[in-house]
Amino acid sequence: MASRTTSEKWQYILSQDPIDTELVSLTLRNGDLQITYFDILQIGDLQIRARTLGEGSVIIVNPQGILLGSSNPAFVAPEMVGQPLDTNLLPGLDDVMQAAYSGEVDPERLFVTLVPYERFYFATPYFKEGSKDVLAVSLIYFSDLPTENDLPSNIFTILGKSALLLLLAAGIVGTVFGAITARGMVKRLQRVSTVTEAWSKGDFSEFIQDPLADEISQLAQQLNHMARQLEELLEKKQDMAVSEERNRMARELHDSAKQEALAASFQLGTALTLYDRDPDSARVKFYSQKWLSSFQTQSEEIGCLALELQ
């Protein structure tokens, strides 16, 4: 069905007067060349086949030998369209084209092998529908036709390209995934940094909140535990400092009271001695007042030290 549709298409194109050479070249470039298949592996009903495409060119020539179109600019330059075909293009081409112009359909006269199973060409005449008049001749030239010997290298080429595409896709997916993951990780690490900076200033009112169960969450829990221990240690150190200060003040209070009491006892002894000698003398009154004043001063100092100690 596809072959019949293709034949009808060319019948229509080649029946035009004049023939549209641009349409001919465009149609040739959009066409497919012969495809070959090779069986690679068969396991039961499962069959794996390799599909290869030959490298070739197609040209269309009218019965007068004028080039109408070419599928490959490297084989026949586009500016040669509308010019007579150069029969020196391929070995033996002149005889083949003359046979095709005459309406020959014998493959022996239309097919030429240049390199067995690799390079060859053949001509095919297009007949006017309902008659044997030749509308045009197509020349199909294969410059490289894959064989079973080329199959391993072709497979490796395909696998190499597939692996390259796979690596490229994996790289793109990995980059996007890494960027998303890194963004969340950076936020979590910034939270850890903010809280630990507050700890370094002595502020233990906040702890790291990280509900995710991964390595960073475990690190956050360990840091929280360390911060609680550090807070307890600082509280104990502060209590010890307060206790040491109280002990120091108690020692100072004790020494001061002892010194004041000793001085008061000396003054009292002096006053008593004077009183025994002369109870009504002025010196007795002076020492008595001085002792009372000193005792009152000592009592006030001891009271202040006691309040400070509390």
Query: Residue 115 belongs to a domain with what CATH number?
Result: 3.30.450
Q: What local confidence, expressed as pLDDT, does residue 3 receive?
A: 46
What is this structure's pTM? 0.43
Contact between 67 and 85 (Cβ < 8 Å): yes
What is residue 184's predicted lDDT score, i.e. its pLDDT? 74
The pLDDT of residue 4 is 45
* C-alpha span between 94 and 186 (Å, rounded): 76
- Count of domains in the chain? 2
Q: Which domain holds residue 251?
A: 242-309
Q: Tell me: pLDDT of 47 over 60.
A: no
Pair 6, 139 in one domain: yes
Confidence of residue 84 (pLDDT cuts 50, 70, 90): very high
Which of 106, 130, 146 is at the close of a domain? 146
| Predicted confidence (pLDDT) per residue in 145-190, tens digit | 665 555 566 566 666 777 788 888 888 988 888 888 777 777 877 8
Q: What is the pLDDT of residues 217-236, one digit of tens each?
A: 788 788 888 878 887 887 88
156, 147 in Cβ contact below 8 A?
no
The residue out of 93, 123, 146 marking a domain boundary is 146
Classify 39 as helix, strand or coil. Answer: strand
67-70 vs 134-144, strand pairing mode: unpaired
Which of 85, 112, 146 is the endpoint of a domain? 146
Inform me whether the pLDDT recorded for 286 exceeds 60. no
Whether 298 maps to a domain, the answer reads yes
Buried-exposed string 163-199: b where 16+ CB fall within 10 A, e elsewhere: eeeeeeeeeeeeeeeeeeeeeeeeebeeebeebeeeb
Phi, psi of 167 (to 5 degrees): -65, -40
90-119 average pLDDT score? 88
Nearest to residue 291, comparing CAs of 274, 306, 276? 274
Over residues 61-68, mean pLDDT:
88
